[in-house]
Amino acid sequence: MIRIGTFLLICLALLSGPAMAGLDSDVKALFEKHEKIIHLHQTELIEQVFSKRYIQDKGGLKDFEASIKEKPKADEKKLKDMSVSWKKGAVTDRILARREEMKNGKKDKGHTEYIVIKKDGKLIIDDTIGDAD
């Protein structure tokens, strides 16, 4: 009985492994674009990365663009000073992605957690949530 259970678990891991790896690269690709928007001011990517609801809460596309551009533009090196980890929601299909900025190879203060959802087959940032715990 235990052997059957172990066999099923191995099968599940083998089947879900590639799917998780695909999801992992999708999450990383999403946050690479996110960093390009935030640090390099490539605001033309906004609608590929953020949901309409998210953009609306930032005051609409124009205000969101303006809020990004009010911060100094960084160089491409800054894009590497970021670490993203993620997990699937314990209750829903949401992905909770944690983006942490690094300083001298160490995690800098605080982090933001992003609520990522799948819309039309693509991952998109729908909301954020604070680091209270």
Partner 1 sequence: MKFLVFIFSLSSTLAVGQIDCVNCPPLSSVPLPTVTLPEVLPSLIDIKKVSYQRRSSVKHCKRPIDLVDTIVLHHSESSSQNSPQRINSYHLDRGWYMGGYTYLVNSPYRGESTPASVVTEGRPPELVGAHAGTDAYVPMRPKDKDAWNAGQILCGVEGGQFSPDSAELIRTKIVGGQRVEYMKANVTTIGVSVIGQYFGNAPRFQPTSNTLDMIAKLICRLQKENPNMVNLRVHNNYHPTDCPGNLGKASNLSYIVQKAQSYGCNFSSIPGHIKISTRINP
CB 116 within 8 A of CB 125: yes
Q: Of 73, 72, 54, nearest to 64 (Cα)?
A: 54
Q: Is 81 exposed, middle or buried (0-12, 13-18, 19+ CB in 10 A)?
A: middle
CB 86 within 8 A of CB 96: yes
Considering the complex, state which of residue 19 and residue 132 has its C-beta at the smaller distance from partner 1.
132
Q: What is the DSSP letter of 50?
A: B
Stretch that binds partner 1, among 11-19, 28-36, 72-80, 124-132 (CB under 8 A): 124-132
- Among 16, 92, 102, 122, the residue binding partner 1 under the rule CB under 8 A is 92
Stretch that binds partner 1, among 2-10, 17-25, 29-37, 83-91 (CB under 8 A): 83-91
Binding of partner 1 by 127 (CB under 8 A)? yes
Kindly list the residues in this chain that would bind partner 1 in the complex (CB under 8 A): 53-54, 57, 59, 63, 66-67, 70, 89-92, 94, 96, 109-110, 112, 115, 127-133
